[in-house]
Structure 1
Amino acid sequence: MHPFPTPPREVLIGDAAAFVGVTPRTIRHYHQVGLLPERERGGDGRRRYGYAEIIRLLWIRRMADAGIALDDIRDAFEGAAPSGADGEDEIADILARLEDTLAAQEAELQHKRASVQRMRSLGSRLGLLDDLVSDRLEAVPEGSLRQDDLDTLLVTERIFGPLGAAVQAGRFLALALHPALRAESDRLDAAEEALDNKVAVDDPRVAELAVERHAFETELMRVIAESGQLEQDDALFDAWDELHPPEDADPAPDPVEGSRARSAAEIIRSMPYDFSPARLRCMELTVQLGAAAAS
């Protein structure tokens, strides 16, 4: 004889809830999320719960009180020993599956925590970048990187991936190590921003600025080449190819949930900036000068 009386063979939802220590609304929620099969309504239109449902509710209550998510409890129930198996085997199977799930969640949580710790140690903006990019910037003197530089790298990484951003990081490294180049870059940037919609595309300043930008880019590339960064870029490409074979490469996830992955050009066009016709013409002339010099 059991020391405590077992519940009646079938009870109404209010009695079942009171016995287990939950509310009728909670039991209905268990039905909705697939934790507890719904019983058919009786002739009076009310559902009744038997001993097996009460035991299931007690299991759920105990696991939920332990902080286990209802989705994980449901998944564990679905993969448990088939109905009719020994009760000890069934609960052991459920707990084993729950432990596997929690172990995977713990590993994921540790990964997230490590990422947050890395962001804090490197600084919020630098820490947002991939290791491949931030490692490239280790030689930058403290305080030499600007927030705009890091924001630009974050955008580049989104469009071209960590490898593309790591290559571009070499540009900011060179600017940080050569104040004169940084000053000239700032001057050209300001001049290009001044090419607003009031400036005609055939304004002499457009072509003159293109020549100056081409000369600057040529000098910057010379400095980068002499620093040995081009060899570092080659090593980066080789290492990347080894770790990411073409057949295993996945496209970058699209920032718009539920939409198809977009091309880099489409992502660039979605950025919130708009160059004037004069500035676009200056960029076009700069590219042409570079192509002519290369040929």
Structure 2
Amino acid sequence: MADGRDLQIGEVAELVGVSTRTIRHYHHAGVVPEPPRSSGGYRQYGLVDVVHLLRVRRLVHLGLSLAAVKDALADRPDGDGDMAEILQELRDGLADEEARLAARRKAVEELLARPDGLLQSASHQHALTRLRQTRPVGHPGLDREAITGELVEAAVGHEQSESLWQTYELIAEDSDLSSQLAVLSEGFEGLAEASADDPGVDELVEFAARLGDAVRALLPRDIMDGDGDPASAHHLLDALAVEMSPAQERCLRLAFARWAKQS
């Protein structure tokens, strides 16, 4: 053709390195103007269109949205426009993303460095070690304590869970309170096969209530404080109760309700 528009969409797609569907999408989004059509209704592309599409593909691969690409190339077929400003914003965004990835990589490396692939924080591991020192060998509640701790960390965040693990340290130093909590934990595990109406539930709840402030100090602030998120507390209780017997779940919910009223 006299104006040099003798390329069809399939040929352009091959030259640019995208699919014909992608080119049509660029047209639909207004990123690339529609070329003239032949008498038969086929799009007819020229080299200017190919260059424009190459620029669009390059910017998209850099991470720009189609809206940003459209702004960068608007009314400037030579591709200048606000390109410098947009690329600077992209550079800043990539720097932020690199910082986030570095933080995630550091967290993964810390997890890999822990013994036996444990996912607990260092403070949580230390708290569990101190807890085991206050419990008889083979105490049935230790495994549940470890799982509960991970759920608590996920629910209330690192800072609040750190204060919880510090409280474990204080409890471990109080032999009388440690003994009472061991009895409480063993009684709870004793309900593993019990139904919700087991009389042991109410007895254990009463025993837990008598521990008062010491027990409440072990609980996440999000659950105990009035300004905490009730939804978070509800979801945490649901998560804790997943593998519990009906008696254990009822005991847990009643105990939490009693402790909340006492706070």
Both structures adopt the same fold (TM-score exceeding 0.5): yes
The residue type paired with residue 104 of structure 2 is K
Q: Contact (CA 8 Å) 1:17, 1:23: kept in 2 or not?
A: yes
Q: How many residues align?
A: 242
- Aligned residue in 2 for 1:74: 66
Q: SS of the counterpart of 2:98? A: helix
Give the Cα separation in 2 of the matches to 1:59 and 1:105.
24
Could you give the per-residue CA deviations for residues 256-279 of structure 1, whole angstroms, max 9, x where no partner exists? Answer: xxxxxx723542464325553587
Q: Contact (CA 8 Å) 2:30, 2:70: kept in 1 or not?
A: no
Counterpart pick for 2:246 among 276, 280, 291: 276
- Aligned residue in 2 for 1:130: none
Counterpart pick for 2:119 among 100, 117, 125: 125
Q: Does 1:264 align with 2:232?
A: yes
- Name the TM-score, length of structure 1 as normaliser: 0.56
Q: Contact (CA 8 Å) 1:207, 1:282: kept in 2 or not?
A: no
Q: SS of the counterpart of 2:120? A: helix
The residue type paired with residue 155 of structure 1 is L
Q: Contact (CA 8 Å) 2:7, 2:45: kept in 1 or not?
A: yes
Counterpart pick for 2:98 among 106, 114, 117: 106
- Aligned residue in 1 for 2:107: 115
Structure 2 unaligned residues grouped into runs of 5+: 133-141, 222-226
The residue type paired with residue 62 of structure 2 is I
Q: SS of the counterpart of 1:126? A: coil
Q: Does 1:19 align with 2:15?
A: yes
Give the Cα separation in 1 of the matches to 2:258 and 2:131.
32
* 1:1-295 → structure 2 map (5 Å cutoff): 8-9=4-5, 11-28=7-24, 30-31=26-27, 36-39=32-35, 42-62=38-58, 68-69=62-63, 72=64, 74-80=66-72, 82-84=74-76, 87-88=79-80, 91-121=83-113, 124-127=118-121, 140=127, 148-162=144-158, 164-174=160-170, 185-195=181-191, 196-198=193-195, 200-201=197-198, 203=199, 205=200, 209-210=204-205, 212-214=207-209, 217=211, 263-268=231-236, 270-271=238-239, 272-273=242-243, 276=246, 280=250, 284=254
Query: Measured at CA, do residues 97 and 152 of structure 1 come closer, stay the same or move farther in structure 2, by a change above 3 Å?
Result: same
Query: Measured at CA, do residues 32 and 150 of structure 1 come closer, stay the same or move farther in structure 2, by a change above 3 Å?
Result: farther
Give the Cα separation in 2 of the matches to 1:56 and 1:290.
65
- Name the TM-score, length of structure 2 as normaliser: 0.61
Give the Cα separation in 2 of the matches to 1:289 and 1:93.
57
What root-mean-square deviation, in Å, do the aligned CA atoms of Structure 1 and Structure 2 show? 5.0
Query: Measured at CA, do residues 29 and 112 of structure 1 come closer, stay the same or move farther in structure 2, by a change above 3 Å?
Result: farther
Could you give the per-residue CA deviations for residues 160-202 of structure 1, whole angstroms, max 9, x where no partner exists? Answer: 455553443234334556688656544432322333545855x
The residue type paired with residue 165 of structure 1 is S
The residue type paired with residue 13 of structure 1 is I
Query: Measured at CA, do residues 46 and 144 of structure 1 come closer, stay the same or move farther in structure 2, by a change above 3 Å?
Result: farther
Instruction: Quote how far apart the aligned CAs of 1:12 are.
Output: 1.0
Query: Measured at CA, do residues 33 and 186 of structure 1 come closer, stay the same or move farther in structure 2, by a change above 3 Å?
Result: farther
Could you give the per-residue CA deviations for residues 68-110 of structure 1, whole angstroms, max 9, x where no partner exists? Answer: 34xx253541342641376455554554343233223223322
